[in-house]
Amino acid sequence: MKDTNDWIKIYKGEIYMKIQIIGLGTVGTAQASLSQKFGHETVGYDPKYESHPYCKTNNGLIIDADITFICTPELVVPDVIEHLIEIGYKGLIVIKSTVPSGTTKTISQKFNAHICHNPEFLREKTNLEDVINPSRTVIGECCSEHGEMLKKFYEPLDRPIYVTDPDTSEIIKLVSNSFRAVTITFWNEIAILCNKKSVDVNEVSGMCDSAKLIGEWEGGNWGTRYFLQPYDGKCLPKDIRHLRDAFRSVDENPKLFDACEEFNNKLKNSKNLR
Ligand SMILES: NC(=O)c1ccc[n+]([C@@H]2O[C@H](COP(=O)([O-])OP(=O)(O)OC[C@H]3O[C@@H](n4cnc5c(N)ncnc54)[C@H](O)[C@@H]3O)[C@@H](O)[C@H]2O)c1
């Protein structure tokens, strides 16, 4: 794991930008802390906070930032971008929120604006550590010029950076969370079978390599360490729903994901199963 104090010495002054963070919750706080560590001038706006440990706060949005990261709940992302355009913002807009499939392209076309999508993969409980030690960064670029600018922002992390288009990066984020939801559900369902057959599910999962994936990385109390605990929290339930909506938008029936949600809801509602 990197020592973040080292970075400031190594990287401060190499590139210097004015960074605006909109929405200072779990994701925005982590993004502000990252920007500040890189030595950028970092300002933030969130109606909930008058002050913030990792950035200077403003009463509204500013128009002279080089990059603005939007870290609000996805429902308000279109309004925030509309407001930025209305006040004459000309810098790069980057959506970090987990938006429904197709959002970035639709908003870019509506406002004739350059917007990148840059999904966040951190865990809620360890947001500040995860943001400086990501397994990878994914950039859904609107154009190579802006993709390059965003790459420069993340280069000090010295981690893999994958560049793609926004449609793809949106799907990557939804798939990554849905994969977790399905795997958690997979093991919860296996636990029911094992219990009925008086087989120890811990022994089964312990001797299946794939079982290591879930539970260790997750911040929640689910996975192979917590059999029969439904997945929950702010992200997994809604992100698998966004993925199912994406299937439906192309007239497909996502049977696996529908079954996953149905089983998870059954677990949530039934004490007998747990
Ligand atoms: N929590 C996670 O672990 C996590 C991880 C990856 C991605 N995400 C995604 O990132 C997005 C944000 O999630 P979060 O967990 O940081 O949410 P959060 O609820 O912790 O924070 C969102 C913040 O946005 C602020 N906000 C709401 N409307 C605003 C507006 N119009 N202008 C400025 N600020 C506004 C709220 O006051 C709040 O503080 C979501 O799309 C989420 O799915 C979350």
Nearest Cα residue to atom 36 of ligand 1:
23
Partnered with residue 137 across adjacent β-strands are 161
Tell how far the Cα of 259 is from the centroid of ligand 1, in angstroms: 28
Q: What angle do CA 26, 32, 38 make, to 5 degrees?
A: 140
| CA 75/CA 217 separation, integer angstroms | 27
β-strand 67-70 against 56-57: which pairing, if any? Answer: unpaired
Question: What's the pLDDT score for residue 122?
Answer: 95
Given ligand 1 and candidates 138, 234, 236, which is best to mutate, with the most ligand atoms within 8 Å of its CB? 234
pLDDT per residue over 156-201, tens digit each? 999 999 999 999 999 999 999 999 999 999 999 999 999 999 999 9
Question: What's the pLDDT score for residue 8?
Answer: 41
What pLDDT band is residue 11 in, cutting at 50, 70 and 90? Answer: very low
Nearest Cα residue to atom 25 of ligand 1:
23
Question: What's the pLDDT score for residue 21?
Answer: 98
Please state, as a whole number, how many other Cβ atoms lie within 10 Å of the Cβ of residue 272.
Answer: 5
Output the ligand 1 site: residues, CB below 6 A. 22-28, 45-48, 71-74, 76, 80, 97-98, 120, 122-124, 234-235
Phi, psi of 20 (to 5 degrees): -110, 135
What pLDDT band is residue 41 in, cutting at 50, 70 and 90? Answer: very high
Here the tokens at position 273 are 């199963």
Tell how far the Cα of 166 is from the centroid of ligand 1, in angstroms: 19
Count the helices and strands in the chain (H runs, E runs). Answer: 11, 8
Annotated catalytic sites, by residue?
235
Domains of the chain with bracketed CATH: 4-164 (3.40.50.720), 171-269 (1.10.1040.10)
Per DSSP, the three-state class of 228 is: coil
Given ligand 1 and candidates 72, 79, 87, 121, which is best to mutate, with the most ligand atoms within 8 Å of its CB? 72
Q: Can you tell me the mean pLDDT for 48-71? A: 96
Q: Can you tell me the mean pLDDT for 97-106? A: 98
Tell how far the Cα of 21 is from the centroid of ligand 1, in angstroms: 11
Phi, psi of 210 (to 5 degrees): -65, -25
Nearest Cα residue to atom 3 of ligand 1:
124
Query: Distance between terminal CA atoms of the chain?
Result: 37
Phi, psi of 84 (to 5 degrees): -60, -45
Tell how far the Cα of 121 is from the centroid of ligand 1, in angstroms: 13
pLDDT(273) > 90? no
Tell how far the Cα of 24 is from the centroid of ligand 1, in angstroms: 7
Question: What's the pLDDT score for residue 16?
Answer: 81
Question: What's the pLDDT score for residue 137?
Answer: 98
Ligand 1 atom nearest residue 235's Cα: 43
Q: What order of strands is seen across the sheet that includes strand 115-117?
A: 56-57, 41-45, 18-22, 67-70, 92-95, 115-117, 137-140, 161-164
Given ligand 1 and candidates 27, 46, 103, which is best to mutate, with the most ligand atoms within 8 Å of its CB? 27
Share the mean pLDDT of the chain.
91
pLDDT per residue over 130-160, tens digit each? 999 999 999 999 999 999 999 999 999 999 9
Ligand 1 atom nearest residue 120's Cα: 6
Question: What's the pLDDT score for residue 221?
Answer: 81
Percent of the chain with pLDDT over 70: 91
